[in-house]
Amino acid sequence: MTHLLIIEANTPDLPPAVRAFQDVFSVIDPSVTFTVVAPYEAAAQAQDFDGVNAVIFTGSGVAWSTDDARAAAQRDAMTLAFETGLPAWGSCNGMQLAATVLGGTVGSSPNGLEVGVARNTQLTDAGKMHPMFAGRSQTFAVPCIHRDEVQSLPAGATLLAGNDHSPIQAFAYTHDGVDFWGTQYHPELRPTQIADFIRNKDGIFAEHVELIGDLNAAETDPTAAARIGTTQDALRHDIRTLELANWLAHVKDRTLQ
């Protein structure tokens, strides 16, 4: 049995981001169990990582970047995670957090918001060989919603995927006991969940209300999927969540070592 610790990156006033991961991994492997720590409510402690096989850092809807003083509790949690040597995953804010902690830089994308799907994301040569992308086509599109991006990689990180909007869409870092995989996009989210973020009139993504209809229909309507830059097949659970399934296989391999 695999036990995952999920680090919640939303503040208590925002909907929990952990639910999407719990839903996805419950389908990939129903035997997986979870513990949740929310550093914006109570600081992570070393003992939170006891009995854990791996750690997930979720995306976030907070207004600040991962290098902001207000994100200190999240950075502390990731530092603790890296000190354990456990495999770690980060989606969106989680990948940005890893870049910040490991010495890279993060900032608002000069291309503005990337909302809907990460169109025409392409694997690098390293990405084609990396186990995160086993079974993934060279070019793909997956649900995505973000303002900030990783703008320079930590020294020693491996760039795995990018697109015209955000050249760093995925990276891995395996040095000094750290075992991290991350994506800028959200393999854990369905397009309907991206639509929910846009529907928040107080959020920074509300200007993209024109996407809501197609996001809600994309899994069943090929023309709607095409309009947002993807396909029905790409949004099937087993394809959309491929990186997470590959990461879980990696976690299980590490557990057996």
DSSP β-bridge partners for residue 4: 34, 54
Task: Check residue 135 and give its pLDDT.
Answer: 97
**In the chain, what percentage of residues exceed pLDDT 70?**
100
For 82-94, write each residue's pLDDT tens digit.
999 999 999 999 9
**In the chain, what percentage of residues exceed pLDDT 90?**
95
Task: Check residue 203 and give its pLDDT.
Answer: 75
User: What type of residue is 140?
Assistant: F
For 168-217, write each residue's pLDDT tens digit.
999 999 999 999 999 999 999 999 999 999 998 777 888 899 999 999 99
Active site members = 92, 186, 188
- Mean pLDDT, the chain, rounded, equals 96
Residues 172, 98: Cα–Cα separation, whole Å: 10
Domains of the chain in sequence order: 3-256 (3.40.50.880)
The pTM of the full predicted model, rounded to 2 decimals, is 0.96
- The answer to whether 211 touches 145, Cβ cutoff 8 Å, is no
Pull the structure tokens for residue 148. 């900030």
Q: Which one-letter DSSP state was computed for residue 94?
A: H
